[in-house]
Amino acid sequence: MLIVVKLPTKMSIKPNLFISVITIQELYEGKSTLSESKLKEMLSVIAPLEILEYNREIAEIAGTVARDSKTTIEFADTAIAATCVFNDSKLFTLNTNHFKDIPDLELYNFK
């Protein structure tokens, strides 16, 4: 799962946690959501997260990233990365390899 985190400013204490609408689609693509108990568990994890929508400005960033990349990057990965860049947020992921060559993207690896 990928979570977008807006780092706290000096005035706030807790970071704001977000999830990309594209990440939600990726979660539903997983076969584990066929299990009612696994689906409920997933929904309980993402319920408190604010959803970041995909819009034209994010699509332009994602398209530029995909066009300029020396390697092929999956649509979902460019969309998620562009969502983070657009929202000035850090991306928390288990797989930094998918995102390592994306300019202006701050990554945090859970490992």
- Indicate whether 49 pLDDT > 60: yes
> E-assigned strands of the chain?
3-6, 16-20, 50-52, 90-93, 106-109
Average pLDDT, integer, range 13-31: 88
**pTM for the predicted model, two decimal places:** 0.81
25: left (phi over 0), alpha (psi -120 to 50) or beta: alpha
pLDDT in tens, 52-66: 999 999 999 999 999
CATH no. of 3-109: 3.40.50.1010
